[in-house]
Structure 1
Amino acid sequence: MFTLQQVSYLHPNKDLLFDRIDLTIPAHTKAALIGNNGAGKSTLLKLLAGILTPASGVIHTGSQPYYIPQHFGQYNDLTIAQALHIEDKIKALHSILEGDVSETNMTLLNDDWSIEERSAAALLHWGLQDLPLSQPMSTLSGGQKTKVFLAGIAIHEPEIILLDEPSNHLDSQGRALLYELIEQSTATLIVVSHDRQLLRLPDQVYELSKKGISLYGGNYDFYLAQKQIENNAMAQDLKSREKALRKAKETERETMERQQKLDARGKKKQEKSGLPTISMNTFRNNAEKSTARTKGMHEEKVEQLSTSLQDLRKELPDMDKMKLGFENAHLHKGKLLINAQEINFGYQHSPLWSAPLSFQIRSGERLAIKGLNGSGKTTLIKMILGYLSPTSGTISSQAGKTVYIDQDYSLINNQLSVYDQAQVFNHTALQEHEIKIRLTRFLFTKEYWDKPCSTLSGGEKMRLLLCCLTIDQQAPDMIILDEPTNNLDLQNVEILTAAINAYDGTLIVISHDQYFLEEVRALRAIELQ
C-alpha cells in the first residue's frame, strides 16, 4: 500500500510544485497517474521511489518500489547487469561455482541460485537475447533500454512497480508485451503515460493538477466520460455567469439612467420652489451621495461577477480556449502525389526490405507507415520527401508544399525567440499585433514572446509549430508526422489531434500509437517488413 500524508515538494529554486497532497493506493491496485506537463507526475513517482525527498509530509510504501524512469542517460556509464543491480550477485554466483564459498559471496548471492537463468529468460522475453549482461547501456537504443528495465521486473519480482512513460520508445511489438505485463501483473502498479491504449488497462485514474490530486474510480474511458460531464457543467456555469454579468451591467445602466432622470426632475422642482441657495446645495449633495452609493453598489456587483467569470475561464481546458484550424489545401482530391514502383534501399549491398515496395498516395488521403523499430520507416519518409533516392525502383512526387514534423519539432529554431519564430512563417506581412493575437490563441501570452524557443517543452514546441502553420496563409499540400506524440502529454495530444483533423490535405503518419492513428483517421497503412 502507498500512503502520502500532507506531502509537499519544492523545486531546487524554491518554487512550490505541489502542496499537502494526501493519497492512499491499496495493495495490488493498478493506477494511472495523469496530468499536464509540469504538473509534477514524474516528480511524484521519484518521491514514491525514494529518489527525491519531500519538503514536508510523510510517504509510506511498504516495500522498495521498482522504478523505471522516462529517461536513461544516467545509466550510460553502466553495463546492463549494473543498471539492473544484479552484477554483484552474478559475480558471487560464478565465484561460488568456481569454489570460492566465502561468507561474502554467500551473503551477496542470498540463495538466489537461479539469478542467471532468470535474467536470461527475462531478456529473451523482451527480444534482448543477443545482449550480454556486460553490454554497456550507452550502446543501446531508447527502446532497448526500456526493455532492459522492463525485463528487470521478472528478475526482481517487486511488489510495487512505478513506470514513467514506459511505451515512449517501444514499437508495436514491444507495446503489446508491455500491455500484457500490466494486465497480468499482481503487483501494486502506478504508471505515468500519455499512451491512451495503455491507460485503458489500469482500473483507477489519478489526475494531478494545481488543485492537488483527484481519484477517478475507473479506467481512462471512465475518466474521459467524467471529465466530459465536468466540462459540460463548467461550460453551463460559464454561460450562466456571462448572462448574470450582462444582466448586472444592463441593470446598472438602467438604474443610473433612472437616477439621473430623478435627480434632474428633483433639481427643476427645487428651482421652481424658490428654496434658499443653502437648502438647494444640501439637496444637491444628498442626491449626489445617493447616486454615488447606488453606482458603487452596482459597480461592486459587476466587479464580483467579472472576477468570478475570469476565474472560471482560467479553469477551462486549454482546448476550449484555443482557436484551431488550417486553411484548405489547394490540390483537388484524388490527384496522384506520390508514385512508388518496386522501390528498395540498400545498406552495404543488402536490401532494407524483404520485398520491394509499390504504392501510390493521392491528395486528401490519410495513411500510416507501420513497422518495427529499425524497419526503415524514416528511410521511406526521406525517399517520399526526395532527400534519398531508392537503390532500386522509382519514386516520383507531384506534391507541392510539404511540412515534415518530427518528434523533436526540428522546424522550430531554438536560437530564435517565440515571436521571431512566428515571424519566420509570416509570408503575408501580417502586422505585429496580428501575430501576437495568434500566439495568444495558442497560449503564448506576453511573457512568452521574448522567450528563446530552446526553453520550450515538447508540447509547447508543438503548439508553436501549429500556430506558425496557421500564420502561414498557404496550407501545406501534405503533412508528414514522424512519431508526433512521443514527447506530448495527453492535453497536447488532444490539441494536435484536433488541429490535424481540421486539416483537409494529405496526411502521412509514422506512429506506434494505434489510438492516435484511429483518432486522425489514418486507417490505410503501408506495412514495412
Structure 2
Amino acid sequence: MQLQNVTYFHPNKDLLFENISLTIAPHEKAALIGNNGAGKSTLLRILAGELQPASGTVISDSKPFYVPQQFGQFNHLTVAQALQLEDKLKALHAILDGDVSETNMALLNDDWALEERCHEALEAWGLEGLDLHQPMQQLSGGQKTKVFLAGIGIHQPDIVLLDEPSNHLDSDARSLLYDFIENTQCTLLVVSHDRHLLNLLDTMLELSKRSITVYGGNYEFYATQKQIEHNALDQDVKSKEKALRKAKETEREAAERQAKLNARGKKKQEKSGLPTISMNTFRNNAEKTTARMKDAHSNKTGQLHEELTELRKALPDMDKMKFGFENPSLHKGKVLLTAKAIRFSYGTRELWPEGLDLQLRSGERLSLKGRNGAGKTTLINIILGRLQPTAGTVESAISNAVYIDQDYSLINNQLSVYEQAAQFNTAALQDHEIKTRLARFLFTHDYWDKPCSTLSGGEKMRLMLCCLTLARQAPDVIILDEPTNNLDMQNIAILTTAINAYNGTLIVVSHDRYFLEEVRVERSIDLEGGWFAQRAHDGGDPLK
C-alpha cells in the first residue's frame, strides 16, 4: 500500500496535509499517530477509497477492509447491509431455492461457506446469535465495533484499516482485539490511543501537515525516541535562552561603555576649545558609532529571539501549560463515604443481590470496572447522591464532587470559551485573571469568543480542567468516565499530568491500563455481572 505526494484540503479549503508519501509493506503492522486534527482518520478514509485527495496517488494491491471510529452512518442499515453482504446472501439463498441464474452465480462467486463463515466470525467476537438482518441502530457502540471486526473474518482481506478500534470495547473484547492483532497475517494500519494495542505493532508513523515520520518499533520505542528528541529540544531552548541573556547583557555593557566614551570625548573637546564645526563633526561621528554598535547588537539579539521563539513553538503543548489546583478542604484519609449492604433494583432486575459494602477515603485513587449493565453508572450516581439504594445504607461526607463524563457534558455548548470559564469562577477572579488562566491551558485570545460547541474532545478536556482550577476550592472527589476515549497521546499526557497535580479523591472508569497506572490507582472495584470485589493495587496491573 502506497501514498505518493498526497494533498488534502478540508471542504472549507483549509489545508490538512500536503505532499505526504508512505509505503506499507505486506504483513506490516503499523500505527498512524499524531495530534488531534492532524488528519489521521481522513488519511485512513483516503486509503479506504471513501475520500479523494486533491492531488497525489494511492496504490494498493487489494481493497482494504475499513473499520471506522464512528458508526452512526450505518444506523439505517441492517448488519448484512453495513458489512456489504446482503446481495451475496440473497444470491446464496436464491440458488439454494433453485434460482441458479447467471446473476446469482456471479454474485456468489462460489462462496458456498459464506453464511457459516458469518456465524463463526460473529461468534468469535462474542456476538453469537446476532441476526444479520437486525438493524444496526439497535446495537450498542461496542456491538457495532465488534460487527465490523467480525467483518474481517468474513471478508478475509489482505489489508485492514482500523480507526480507534478499542474505544467502545470492554476488557474481554479488547483482549480479543489484542489477540487478533498479534496473530493476524493481514497488513494492518491502525489509528489508536490505546498504548497496550500500540505496543503490539511494529512501526509508528507520525503524521504532520508536511510529512509522515517513520519510527521502526512499537509505541514504547517511539516514546523513548520522542523523549530523546524532546530532551535535545529542551536543551536547545535553554542554551538559546542563555545566549540571549548573554547577548542582552553584552549589549547593555557595550552601550554603557560607549556612553562613557562619548561623554569623556565631549569633555575633552569642550576643554580644547575646538571650533563649533569640528565639535559637530566629532558629535556626529560618535552618534554614528553608537548607532552602528546598537544595530549590530540589536540584529544579534533579534536573531536569537526569533530562533528561541521557533524552538519554543516546537515544544510539546504540555510543557507550556501550568496546573494550579487548590487543595481539597478534607484532610487525607478522612472517610468520605460508607456504604453497607447496598442494592439497587431496576424493576425486577436487581444489582448486587448479595449486597455491596464500600468505604471511600479522602485522597484515595481507585478504578471502577465492570461490563455494561454491571452497575457502574448506578454506583457513581449513588456516590454522587443522585440515587438512593433500594436496600442498605449510605453515609456520605462528600460536599463537592465533579463527574466528568465522556462527552464533557458539564460544558455548555451554547457558551463561549470565556463564558464557560467564568461560570466556574467561584474564586471571584478578575477578568484578566480568568484570561490568564485560560492562556495557561492554551486558550489564547483567538479562542475566548469561540463557541464551546466547536471545540474538539481534547480541547473540551483542557477547558474542563481549566474550569476546575478557577474554583475557590478543588473538588473533594473527581470521577472520570472513560477519560482517554477520543483523546490523542498529547492530550492524554496533559490529562495525566493535571490529574497527578490533584490531591483529592479520584474515581476512574477506564479500560486503559496504562492511564490507570500513570495516575497511580491504588485499588479497583470490580462489578462483574452482579458480583462485587475490591482488589488492592499491588504495583502491577490494577485491572488484573
Shorter-chain TM-score bucket reads over 0.9
Do residues 428 (structure 1) and 411 (structure 2) align?
no
Equivalent residue of 1:389, what SS? coil
Report if aligned partners of 2:18, 2:210 keep a CA contact under 8 Å in 1: no
What is the CA-CA distance between 1:490 and the residue it aligns to?
1.2
What is the CA-CA distance between 1:51 and the residue it aligns to?
1.0
Q: Which residue of 2 aligns with 1:271?
A: 270
Do residues 64 (structure 1) and 42 (structure 2) align?
no
Whole-angstrom CA distance in 2 between matches of 1:356 and 1:195: 34
Paired residue type of 2:287: E
Equivalent residue of 2:293, what SS? helix
Do residues 249 (structure 1) and 248 (structure 2) align?
yes
Q: Which residue of 1 aligns with 2:171?
A: 172
Report if aligned partners of 1:517, 1:523 keep a CA contact under 8 Å in 2: no
Whole-angstrom CA distance in 1 between matches of 2:339 and 2:256: 75
Whole-angstrom CA distance in 2 between matches of 1:303 and 1:313: 15
Q: Which residue of 2 aligns with 1:363?
A: 362
Do residues 312 (structure 1) and 311 (structure 2) align?
yes
5 Å matches for 1:192-203?
A: 192-203=191-202
Equivalent residue of 2:66, what SS? strand
Whole-angstrom CA distance in 1 between matches of 2:353 and 2:220: 39
Do residues 351 (structure 1) and 331 (structure 2) align?
no
Report if aligned partners of 1:48, 1:59 keep a CA contact under 8 Å in 2: yes
- Larger deviation, residues 465-474 vs 111-120: 465-474
Whole-angstrom CA distance in 2 between matches of 1:227 and 1:93: 53
Structure 2 residues without counterparts, runs of 5 or longer = 529-544
Whole-angstrom CA distance in 1 between matches of 2:383 and 2:269: 89
CA deviation map 1:169-207 (0-9, x unaligned): 111111111111111111110110111111111011111
5 Å matches for 1:37-436?
A: 37-353=36-352, 355-436=354-435
Report if aligned partners of 1:369, 1:510 keep a CA contact under 8 Å in 2: yes
Whole-angstrom CA distance in 1 between matches of 2:37 and 2:370: 32
Paired residue type of 2:319: D
Paired residue type of 2:156: E
What is the CA-CA distance between 1:314 and the residue it aligns to?
0.7
What is the CA-CA distance between 1:26 and the residue it aligns to?
1.1
Whole-angstrom CA distance in 1 between matches of 2:466 and 2:45: 34
CA 1:523/1:154 → structure 2, altered by over 3 Å: closer, same or farther?
Answer: farther
Equivalent residue of 1:496, what SS? helix
What is the CA-CA distance between 1:415 and the residue it aligns to?
1.2
Report if aligned partners of 1:345, 1:351 keep a CA contact under 8 Å in 2: yes
Equivalent residue of 2:244, what SS? helix
Q: Which residue of 1 aligns with 2:534?
A: none
C-alpha RMSD over aligned residues? 1.2
Report if aligned partners of 1:89, 1:108 keep a CA contact under 8 Å in 2: yes
Identity %: 70
Whole-angstrom CA distance in 1 between matches of 2:257 and 2:60: 68
Whole-angstrom CA distance in 2 between matches of 1:417 and 1:11: 24
Whole-angstrom CA distance in 2 between matches of 1:29 and 1:18: 24
Paired residue type of 1:402: A
What is the CA-CA distance between 1:396 and the residue it aligns to?
2.4
Whole-angstrom CA distance in 2 between matches of 1:374 and 1:241: 56
Whole-angstrom CA distance in 1 between matches of 2:253 and 2:191: 55
Whole-angstrom CA distance in 2 between matches of 1:395 and 1:132: 43
Whole-angstrom CA distance in 1 between matches of 2:324 and 2:157: 47
Whole-angstrom CA distance in 2 between matches of 1:10 and 1:322: 30
Equivalent residue of 2:406, what SS? coil
CA deviation map 1:393-445 (0-9, x unaligned): 22221112111111111111111111111111111211111111110000000
What is the CA-CA distance between 1:74 and the residue it aligns to?
0.8
- Larger deviation, residues 452-461 vs 388-397: 388-397
TM-score relative to the length of structure 2: 0.95
Paired residue type of 1:270: Q
Whole-angstrom CA distance in 2 between matches of 1:150 and 1:396: 45
CA deviation map 1:39-88 (0-9, x unaligned): 11111111111111111111112111111111111111110000001111
Equivalent residue of 1:407, what SS? coil
CA 1:518/1:253 → structure 2, altered by over 3 Å: closer, same or farther?
Answer: same
Report if aligned partners of 2:8, 2:17 keep a CA contact under 8 Å in 1: yes
What is the CA-CA distance between 1:520 and the residue it aligns to?
1.1
CA 1:429/1:227 → structure 2, altered by over 3 Å: closer, same or farther?
Answer: same
Paired residue type of 1:66: F
Equivalent residue of 2:318, what SS? helix
Paired residue type of 1:388: L
CA deviation map 1:138-183 (0-9, x unaligned): 1111111100000000001111110000111111111111111111
Q: Which residue of 1 aligns with 2:532?
A: none
Runs (4+) of structure 1 moved beyond 4 Å? none
Paired residue type of 1:522: V
Structure 1 residues without counterparts, runs of 5 or longer = none
What is the CA-CA distance between 1:354 and the residue it aligns to?
5.2
What is the CA-CA distance between 1:112 and the residue it aligns to?
0.4
Do residues 518 (structure 1) and 517 (structure 2) align?
yes
Whole-angstrom CA distance in 2 between matches of 1:281 and 1:438: 55
Whole-angstrom CA distance in 2 between matches of 1:527 and 1:375: 9
Whole-angstrom CA distance in 2 between matches of 1:512 and 1:355: 25
Q: Which residue of 2 aligns with 1:461?
A: 460
Whole-angstrom CA distance in 1 between matches of 2:14 and 2:349: 55
What is the CA-CA distance between 1:516 and the residue it aligns to?
1.2
Q: Which residue of 2 aligns with 1:480?
A: 479
Report if aligned partners of 2:20, 2:210 keep a CA contact under 8 Å in 1: no
Whole-angstrom CA distance in 1 between matches of 2:393 and 2:184: 49
What is the CA-CA distance between 1:211 and the residue it aligns to?
4.6
- Larger deviation, residues 265-274 vs 295-304: 265-274
